């Protein structure tokens, strides 16, 4: 009997978390082996390892506690990997030598798979004088371009995906260029961008006052605060970036404000960290803790929750000692403060199971109560660890209790900390859980609403074929199991139907008892007005959030699960005298390979790839079978000699496939799924992941023109218009990993529902 609630869960485990030899031979025979490996590894530092191994295993069993992916994949493997997810790098010095030393440290960290954050506000603005060399500074964005290239290089070398956050203060003289950077679709693709918003700036915005842009005490420009705010909002409205981080609020709420100052976050924003700060992540699966789901006695088992939280805190504390670190400064920082980031996933599912509508006032109140219970349990568990193993080295009782969120903590918890100390300086954070939520049976992700009740995905089989399977939200499946085909109640809502301010209400409710921050995406409809869009951010500020990230589908960002349906034929530069045929959708198959006739009908297409000096020309010749045209051969030519070898190879291979006959549409599928790690390009308003994908698109257009295919994606096994049950949604961009059109913006990360790929690692 499998422990997995859905086929996709087992596939994610096998692809991402199962311990295997270098040749792919599985060492973990089952998910129980994975749980045992993690439990045994994290119990090794205990004085009674066998006792704690069993308790850790019980917490992991049936996906109740979900360590972050790096912990699941790396614990107990003996491999020199970091189990930490989040890093903020050291402060960038305003000198050429210091800047490139920071670049080296970033490369070493990303090589081990860590997502990193940087504050680029410390670099002097463009045009500022550089003493001693009679030159002007190039500004922080020029160095961000260097970081971006480094990240792409590491990705192309086969290491883990890179993810970076760049922040800049709202009073830096180059902040206007920073805000507009993502208007160039080819620039800074490896970065998430966020502006550090201060309290005085928000006061100036509300008062419609002036705002000085300065560096090192020198005022470079004075602008209108509201105008600067509107520019941030307009860029976010148009390009989904930059995000907004309320940095003064973060520092005021920091338990360690007496020993550190924060100026950056990890890539998804849930971990504001000091220089060289590091944090590990894990989540309580709320959906697994609801008793009698959808019944009269439905409720969260809070005793079980407290016990599970206490065990999870102990496991995470042990990770601090078990993990390797890319840099010694990161190891020292982690062990001096022993930060952990325990969060939740499956919150929306749990709310549904107890009959509450996500986004309602009652759901927000229940969320606040649950998160309060988790915070209490986590802090008390850390006090117990301090009694056994000692408080974190930088603990100072008087200063700690008067810092950050500790000032609002329950008095009995404060008394316990005052008497015994605390093992971990900060304990709670709500991280992106896109992949581990799939691994746990497609529970709702983090504190996000249910994305969709169900959707279909294409699964690549070992024989190369693709099959279709339905992926159902965990709570929806439980409803089906209990009530069959009975329609879902009115309180079932999802990300497509939820009002933006309902998102804000839920984020604010959770934030009250989260001592770090929250990774959350506020989905906005494409037709939201600019004024209403700005209101989302002001509401986030007014309600106490530490930051705000939105996603509004549009022509630049792409729709969630959407691609433009507009079909434009490629430019035809040469053709024979044959009459063009109208697409009719009749696919013609050949059962035997055919010899080449003396004369063939065909078309030549010109493909211009951005930043390429020479165009590529594709000639596709067709054969007439049963009165219908079907592809028979292709010729690919370019004056660029760097393309010579692969264009000749592609010409021969595709032509050989075409001449064999049968269903040759898989050629289009495979080419369109090719991802260039250096980045793709925008062509005619659509993002194409590689030049090979562009060639696949041209071949597809030809097949449509000749009537071999009825339309884009139609007749292809791996290029469907992915349907979300109960919704008529268009498609989104193809996943760069698996090629499926299942990318969603979840918790600030583009995440693929088919394979779990996330740009955030």
Asked if 268 is an active-site residue, the reply is yes
CA distance 241 to 361: 29
172 C-beta neighbours (distance < 10 Å), count: 26
- 10 Å CB burial of residue 222 (0-12, 13-18, 19+) is exposed
Question: Exactly one of 192, 251, 266, 318 is catalytic; which is it?
Answer: 266
| Complete DSSP assignment for 264-291 | EE-TTSS-EE-TT-EEEEEEEEGGGGEE
In Å, how far are 18, 42, 436 from 62, measured between CA atoms? 16, 18, 13
For the chain, how are helix, strand and coil distributed in percent, rounded to 5? 40, 20, 45
CA distance 643 to 135: 40
Tokens of 164: 């970076």
Question: Is 621 part of the annotated catalytic residue set?
Answer: no
Concatenating the DSSP letter of every residue in 668-730 gives HHHHHT---TT--EEETTEEES-HHHHHHHHHHHHHHHTTSSSSTTTT-SS---PPBTT--PP
10, 53, 270, 701: which one is catalytic? 270
Helix 644-660 crosses helix 691-705 at what angle (to 10 degrees)?
A: 30
Q: If DSSP codes are grouped into helix, strand and coil, which group holds residue 423?
A: coil
Residue 359 CA to residue 693 CA, distance in Å, equals 40
C-alpha–C-alpha distance, residues 471 and 456, integer Å:
6
Separate counts of helices (H) and strands (E) for the chain: 23, 29
How many Å is the Cα radius of gyration of the chain?
27
In degrees rounded to 5, what are phi and psi of residue 596? Answer: -80, 125
Tell me, yes or no, if 545 is annotated catalytic: no
| Residue among 86, 170, 268, 755 flagged as catalytic | 268
* Other C-beta atoms lying within 10 Å of the C-beta of residue 556: 15
Burial readout 405-416 (b: 16 or more C-beta within 10 A, e: otherwise) = bbeebeeebbeb
Q: Name the β-bridge partners of 291.
A: 299
Q: How far apart are CA 671 and CA 716, in angstroms?
A: 12
First to last CA, the chain: 31
Token couple for 734: 């193809």
> What residues are labeled active site?
266, 268, 270
């Amino acid at each position: 009997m499998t422990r997995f609630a859905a086929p996709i869960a087992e596939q994610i485990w096998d692809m991402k978390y199962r311990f295997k030899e270098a040749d792919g031979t599985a060492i973990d025979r089952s998910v129980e082996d994975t749980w045992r490996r993690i439990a045994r590894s994290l119990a090794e530092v205990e004085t009674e390892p066998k006792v704690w191994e069993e308790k850790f295993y019980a917490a992991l069993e049936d996906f109740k506690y979900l360590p972050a992916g790096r912990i699941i994949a790396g614990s107990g493997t003996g491999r020199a990997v970091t189990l930490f997810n989040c890093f903020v790098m050291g402060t960038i010095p305003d000198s050429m030598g210091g800047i490139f030393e920071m670049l080296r440290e970033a490369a070493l960290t990303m090589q081990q798979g860590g997502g990193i954050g940087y504050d680029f506000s410390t670099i002097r603005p463009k045009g500022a004088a550089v003493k001693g060399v009679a030159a002007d500074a190039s500004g922080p964005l020029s160095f961000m371009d260097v970081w971006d290239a480094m990240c792409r290089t590491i990705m192309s070398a086969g290491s883990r995906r890179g993810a970076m956050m760049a922040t800049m203060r709202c009073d830096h003289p180059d902040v206007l260029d920073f805000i507009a950077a993502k208007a160039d679709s080819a620039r800074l693709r490896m970065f998430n961008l966020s502006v550090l918003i201060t309290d005085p700036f928000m006061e100036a915005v509300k008062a419609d006052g002036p705002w000085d842009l300065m560096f090192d005490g020198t005022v470079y420009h004075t602008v209108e605060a509201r105008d600067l705010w509107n520019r941030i909002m307009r860029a976010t409205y148009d390009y989904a970036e930059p995000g907004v981080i309320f940095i003064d609020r973060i520092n005021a709420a920091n338990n360690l404000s007496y020993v550190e100052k924060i100026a950056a976050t990890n890539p998804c924003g849930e971990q504001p960290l000091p220089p060289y700060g590091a944090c590990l992540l894990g989540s309580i699966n709320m959906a697994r803790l609801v008793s009698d789901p959808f019944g009269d006695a439905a409720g969260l088992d809070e005793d079980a929750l407290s016990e599970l939280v206490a065990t999870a805190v102990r496991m995470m504390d042990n990770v601090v000692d078990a993990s390797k670190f890319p840099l010694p400064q990161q190891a020292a920082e982690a062990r001096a403060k022993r930060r952990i980031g325990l969060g939740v996933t499956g919150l929306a599912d749990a709310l549904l199971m107890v009959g509450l509508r996500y986004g309602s006032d009652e759901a927000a109140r229940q969320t606040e109560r649950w998160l309060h219970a988790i915070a209490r349990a986590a802090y008390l568990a850390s006090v117990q660890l301090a009694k056994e193993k000692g408080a974190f080295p930088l603990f100072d009782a008087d200063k700690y209790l008067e810092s950050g969120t500790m000032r609002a903590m329950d008095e009995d918890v404060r008394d316990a900390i005052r008497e015994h100390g605390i093992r971990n300086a900060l304990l709670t954070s709500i991280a992106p859980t896109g992949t581990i939520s799939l691994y746990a049976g497609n529970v709702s992700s983090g504190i996000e609403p249910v994305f969709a009740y169900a959707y279909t995905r294409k699964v690549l089989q070992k024989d190369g074929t693709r099959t279709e399977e339905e992926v159902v939200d965990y709570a929806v499946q439980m409803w089906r199991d209990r009530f069959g085909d009975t329609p879902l109640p009115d309180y079932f809502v999802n990300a497509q139907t939820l009002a933006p301010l309902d998102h804000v209400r839920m984020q604010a409710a959770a934030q009250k008892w989260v001592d770090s921050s929250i990774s959350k995406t506020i989905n906005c409809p494409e037709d939201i007005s600019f004024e209403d869009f700005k209101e989302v951010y002001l509401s986030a500020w007014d309600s106490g959030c530490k930051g705000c990230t939105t996603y509004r589908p549009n022509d630049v960002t792409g729709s969630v699960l959407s691609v433009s349906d507009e079909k434009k034929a490629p430019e035809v530069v040469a053709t024979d005298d044959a009459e063009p045929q109208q697409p009719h959708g009749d696919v013609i198959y050949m059962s035997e390979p055919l010899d080449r006739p003396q004369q063939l009908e065909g078309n030549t297409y010109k493909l211009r790839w951005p930043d390429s000096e020479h165009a590529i020309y594709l000639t596709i010749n067709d054969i007439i079978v049963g009165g219908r045209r079907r592809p028979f051969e292709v010729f690919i030519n370019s004056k660029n000699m760097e393309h010579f070898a692969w264009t000749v190879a592609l010409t021969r291979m595709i032509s050989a496939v075409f001449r064999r006959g049968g269903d040759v549409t898989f050629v289009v599928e495979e080419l369109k799924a090719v991802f260039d790690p250096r980045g793709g390009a925008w062509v005619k308003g659509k993002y194409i992941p590689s030049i090979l994908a562009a060639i696949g698109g041209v071949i597809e257009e030809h097949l449509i023109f000749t009537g071999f295919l009825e339309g884009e994606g139609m007749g292809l096994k791996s290029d469907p218009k992915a349907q979300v049950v109960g919704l008529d949604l268009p498609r989104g961009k193809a996943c760069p990993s698996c090629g499926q059109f299942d990318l969603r913006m979840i918790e600030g990360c583009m995440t693929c529902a088919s394979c779990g790929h996330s740009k955030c690692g």
